[in-house]
Amino acid sequence: MLAAYSQERTMRLDYSFSGRTSEAVIALDELRVIEGWAGRRVHLKELPLKGNGQLTLRAAQNGEVLYRMSFSTLFQEWQNTEEATQLRRSFENVFLVPMPDDTAVVTIELFDSKGNIQAVLNHYVNPGDILVRPASSNPAVKDIYIGGPVEKCIDVAIVAEGYTKSEMDVFWKDAREAVKSIFSHEPFKRMKERFNFRAVGLESSQSGVSIPGKGVWKDTPLHSSFDTFYSARYLTTLKLKDLHDALAGVPYEHIIILANTDNYGGGGIYNSYTLTTAHHHQFRPVVVHEFGHSFAGLADEYYYDDQFSDYYFPEVEPWEQNITTMFDFDSKWKDMLGRDGVSVLEGGGYMSKGVWRGCEDCRMKTNTAAGFCPVCQRAIERMIRFYTE
Ligand SMILES: [Zn+2]
């Protein structure tokens, strides 16, 4: 019997997701092949979370599921903006799957904010396809923490963004700080040997990153910028292909990008990437908060105002494990009530009403919290176990 990863190669699937508020189109962009498979080797046919989208790889011959993953996208966040009511835009998305032994079918599904399917694409992939271009790169890499072999551990690449050649020593130090901060939080602390963190020193021709709100534009390897969707603190990159091109020679399954700036901000997208400012005094809590999004699919527990008031609905239970609409509270932390200060507090997921969280404070709520709340800790631990046992 052959396992789905028997090829020890990765198939990279590049897509364009486009559309507007209530409309999405998925188009295949390109297929790439990368030597090695750094993804998980257990629970291949299962999903840890529903996510805002899903990918399923099935054997073409008998329909057997070979691999599944769930994810969220910047495109779907954009669909909730004012701009999306006015025009159609497209966004890059990249996914990694184990190279199948034989012809397989990939299904990509995107869900709307009520969890209903909004778009589907099915297409064949053939491991012998002559048009699948190899991807490789040879970036400067330093091991920051190695808990064990690639096959057994969760491999995280920490990527430099906006650091010039002469600033690379600063980046290695920033990468070590990021890992130290993550490992100062439970459950990462007690499960640290299940992770590998490698720093990837991409050199930038200019120092810093783009801050359009201040009229600052920088030429950087990942073209990241603040003011995403006109939100000053929202720091993202739209260039997913450039990001994955740069990482092709590194074993990786999760990504943390450090931006060489002291301008406050960040972003974290489930199973896509974390991107955060490295030189603001809140760097240490923020990088862990964003990794909570990108690694564990946790929701924000804060609610400054109700600008995203159509994000969660009373008749839909969110898939994020640390918030609830009480529609299906049994599926959340009901069994933890009364233990370790866990209760049900209204306010979370950007909404002051109609969404509840488990604790007064948490790394997913404020930068001053002592750590993750027990609800988030359990969700993170479950995700770590999903990858490693
Ligand atoms: Zn929490």
What are 338-373's pLDDT values in tens digits? 999 999 999 999 888 999 999 999 999 999 999 999
Q: Quick check: 223 pLDDT over 90?
A: yes
pLDDT in tens, 173-183: 999 999 999 99
pLDDT digits (tens, 9 = 90+) for 159-178: 999 999 999 999 999 999 99
As a whole number of Å, the end-to-end CA separation of the chain is 20
For residue 20, the Cα-to-chain-centroid distance in whole angstroms is: 22
Per the prediction, the chain carries an average pLDDT of 95
Query: How far is ligand 1, taken at its centre, from the CA of residue 296, in Å?
Result: 11
Report the separation in Å between the CA atom of 59 and the middle of ligand 1, taken as the mean of its atom positions.
38
Is the pLDDT at 38 greater than 90? The verdict is yes
Cα gap 376→292, rounded to integer Å: 8
CA 276–ligand 1 middle distance (angstroms): 20
Give distance in angstroms: CA of 112 to centre of ligand 1: 24
Question: What pLDDT, in 10s, does the model give residues 241-280?
Answer: 999 999 998 999 999 999 999 999 999 999 999 999 999 9
Distance 178 CA to ligand 1 centre (A): 20
Could you tell me the distance, in angstroms and rounded to a whole number, from the CA of residue 165 to the centre of ligand 1?
38
Q: Ligand 1 centroid to 6 CA: how many Å?
A: 38
Q: Which residue has the tokens 């404020």?
A: 366
Q: Calculate the CA 171 to chain-centre distance.
A: 21
Indicate the pLDDT class of residue 306, thresholds 50, 70 and 90: low
Cα 387 to ligand 1 centroid, rounded to whole Å? 21
CA of 67 to the centre of ligand 1 (A): 29
375 C-alpha vs ligand 1 centroid, how far in Å? Answer: 6
Centroid of ligand 1 to alpha carbon of 323 (angstroms): 8
**Would the pLDDT of 121 be above 90?**
yes
Q: Cα of 384 to ligand 1 centre, how many Å?
A: 16
Can you tell me the mean pLDDT for 185-199?
98
Distance 358 CA to ligand 1 centre (A): 7
What is the CA(234)–ligand 1 centre distance, in A? Answer: 21
Q: What domains are there in the chain, each with its CATH number?
A: 9-134 (2.60.40.3250), 141-296 (3.40.390.10)
For residue 40, report the distance from its CA to the centre of ligand 1, in Å: 25
**Maximum distance among all Cα pairs of the chain, rounded to whole angstroms:** 59
Cα 5 to middle of ligand 1, angstroms: 34
User: Is residue 216 over pLDDT 90?
Assistant: yes
Supply the DSSP string of 157-201, one letter for each residue.
Answer: EEEEES--GGGHHHHHHHHHHHHHHHTTSTTTTTTGGGEEEEEE-
Cα of 364 from ligand 1 centre, angstroms:
5
What is the CA(170)–ligand 1 centre distance, in A?
Answer: 31
Ligand 1: centre distance to CA 202 (Å) = 33
Tell me how crowded residue 315 is: count the other CB atoms within 10 A of its CB: 7
Q: Stretch 311-330: mean pLDDT, rounded? A: 95
For residue 118, give Cα distances in angstroms to 9, 100, 175. Answer: 31, 27, 38
